[in-house]
């Protein structure tokens, strides 16, 4: 059997690159994109990485650095990033028959059919085309397994010589590549495992590959074994071209300012439930279980968190029905005197919309409610999110609990009113 060849295409500093496409003046300047509520740094340009600002740093902790280096700060603009991602993925897809869209900014490709001598040129072509068509710079790592392709990609990004492209298949430098890869940078090794491995003298990917099998198996389970095999060039993670159905759907938000009254919490939860209902319907799923939760912040003394799970008598994705149950649940778990900072709803035990168990005593006309939901989704899609909404979600256009994005760029590509002007 011919050995598999995987490529990992990864957008460089994706959110920052999206902002730069429409603001070319930001090139070579330090840029940060923030999380919801403008809280933490979630994307950093190379200039910012060079300042040792790590991902997840709260922005208030680096106020002085921002000022000193004139770092450009942006709120998250998911409409823009989602659309740019689609353009990038469509472009890559036009080159290959097998693609796994792994995240908003990464895709694995199967290049087994490309002849060895052609692979580098083929990938260069992908790189150039993506940049030309979308303005997004990408790096590509190539190897016999996904884990090695990840490593190749990391090095491709960092090394000046590689110019964003590195092929480690049959490479005489493979050991060297593994040796210069910190063990914590291996795909599947996080903080905890990293600490453990380093304690045992396993500092880099090469040492991890050659480490005692029983030790890795015992601590990291079957994933550890697969990881070692992948580092040896034996593929254990195949390309997943058809994403499996989701197993759960969550909608949750942190509030910029703490919320203390039940009316606000109810509005927030009703809003999250509506959003969750939309997501369920888009997936063509119904939920059997809904969990509603509220909590105080993590950084205070007097904490409180509570949740309520609701087993739905008939699995559903019907927003008003879900809102009713959620409102009941909130009544039960809400406590005065706590500064609530976060709330959310989780849908679990999902089933396909068309093949669920109906209830014997079900009094809801499900055909009718489905029609209403379909129309509502269609109108909101056409006229903009939130055009039609339920009164329970609140009538105030900017309620206290609303997520803030004070430094957001325009939705350049998805809103006629925000198109860039030349």
Partner DNA sequence: TCTGGGGTCCTAGGACCC
Rank residues 27 and 298 by Cβ distance to DNA and give the closer one.
298
* Cβ–Cβ under 8 Å, residues 256 and 403: yes
Rank residues 93 and 348 by Cβ distance to DNA and give the closer one.
348
Closest CA to 37 of 255, 251, 252: 255
Cβ at position 288, least distance to DNA in Å? 11
| Contacting positions for DNA (CB under 7 A) | 35-37, 39-40, 42, 55-56, 58, 60, 102-106, 150, 186-194, 221-223, 244, 246-254, 256-258, 279, 297, 299, 341-342, 344, 403
Cβ at position 144, least distance to DNA in Å? 18
Closest CA to 36 of 389, 340, 407: 407
Task: Give the whole-angstrom CA distance, residue 41 versus residue 48.
Answer: 10
CA dist 301 to 58, 262, 297, 334, 339, Å? Answer: 20, 21, 9, 18, 11
Rank residues 122 and 264 by Cβ distance to DNA and give the closer one.
264
Cα-Cα-Cα-Cα torsion 258, 260, 264, 266, nearest 10 degrees, comes to: 110
Rank residues 114 and 343 by Cβ distance to DNA and give the closer one.
343
Strand order in the sheet with 6-11: 99-103, 106-110, 6-11, 138-143, 165-167
Q: What phi, psi does 175 have (nearest 5°)?
A: -60, -40
* Cβ–Cβ under 8 Å, residues 409 and 43: no
Cβ at position 37, least distance to DNA in Å? 5
Q: What phi, psi does 228 have (nearest 5°)?
A: -60, -45
Cβ at position 314, least distance to DNA in Å? 19
Rank residues 111 and 220 by Cβ distance to DNA and give the closer one.
220
Cβ at position 272, least distance to DNA in Å? 8
The set of residues, in sequence order, having a beta carbon less than 8 Å from that of 133 and lying 6+ positions away, is 87, 91
Question: Which residue matches tokens 């888009």?
Answer: 282
Strand intervals (E) in 144-205: 165-167
* Cβ–Cβ under 8 Å, residues 73 and 83: no
Look up residue 95 and give its two tokens.
């080159």
Rank residues 187 and 412 by Cβ distance to DNA and give the closer one.
187
Rank residues 105 and 230 by Cβ distance to DNA and give the closer one.
105
Rank residues 386 and 420 by Cβ distance to DNA and give the closer one.
386
* Cβ–Cβ under 8 Å, residues 233 and 211: no
Beta bridge partners of 166: 141
């Amino acid at each position: 059997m011919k050995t598999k060849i995987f490529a990992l295409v990864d957008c460089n500093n994706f959110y920052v690159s999206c902002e730069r496409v429409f603001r070319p003046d930001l090139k070579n300047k330090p840029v940060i994109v923030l999380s919801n509520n403008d809280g933490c740094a979630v994307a950093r340009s190379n200039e910012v990485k060079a300042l040792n600002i790590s991902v997840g740093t709260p922005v208030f902790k680096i106020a002085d650095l921002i000022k000193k280096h004139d770092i450009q700060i942006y709120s998250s603009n998911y409409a823009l990033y989602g659309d740019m991602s689609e353009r990038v993925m469509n472009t890559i897809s036009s080159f290959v028959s097998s693609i796994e869209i792994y995240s908003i900014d990464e895709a694995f490709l199967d290049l087994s059919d490309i002849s060895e001598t052609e692979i580098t040129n083929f990938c260069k072509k992908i790189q150039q085309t993506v940049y030309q068509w979308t303005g997004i710079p990408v790096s590509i790592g190539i190897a016999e397994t996904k884990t090695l392709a990840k490593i190749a990609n990391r090095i491709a990004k960092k090394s000046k010589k590689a110019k964003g492209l590195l092929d480690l298949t049959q490479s005489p430098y493979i050991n060297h590549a593994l040796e210069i890869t910190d063990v914590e940078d291996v795909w599947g090794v996080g903080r905890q495992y990293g600490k453990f491995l380093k304690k045992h003298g396993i500092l880099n990917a090469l040492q991890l590959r050659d480490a005692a099998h029983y030790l890795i198996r015992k601590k990291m389970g079957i994933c550890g074994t697969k990881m070692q095999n992948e580092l040896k060039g034996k593929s254990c993670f195949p390309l997943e071209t058809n994403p499996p159905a989701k197993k759960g759907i969550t909608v949750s938000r942190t509030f910029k300012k703490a919320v203390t009254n039940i009316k606000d919490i109810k509005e927030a939860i009703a809003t999250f439930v509506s959003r969750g209902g939309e997501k369920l319907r888009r997936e063509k799923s119904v939920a059997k279980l809904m969990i509603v939760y509220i909590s105080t912040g993590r950084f205070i003394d007097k904490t409180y968190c509570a949740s309520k799970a609701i087993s739905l008598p008939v699995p559903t994705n019907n927003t008003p029905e879900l809102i009713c149950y959620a409102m009941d649940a909130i009544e039960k778990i809400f406590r005065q005197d706590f500064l609530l900072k976060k709330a959310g709803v989780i849908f679990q035990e999902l089933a396909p919309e068309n093949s669920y168990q109906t209830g014997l005593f079900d009094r809801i006309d499900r055909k009718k409610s489905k029609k209403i939901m379909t129309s509502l989704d269609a109108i909101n899609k056409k006229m903009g999110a939130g055009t039609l909404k339920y009164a329970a979600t609140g009538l105030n256009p900017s309620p206290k609990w609303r997520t803030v994005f004070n430094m957001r760029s325009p939705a350049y590509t998805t809103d006629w009113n925000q198109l860039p002007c030349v």
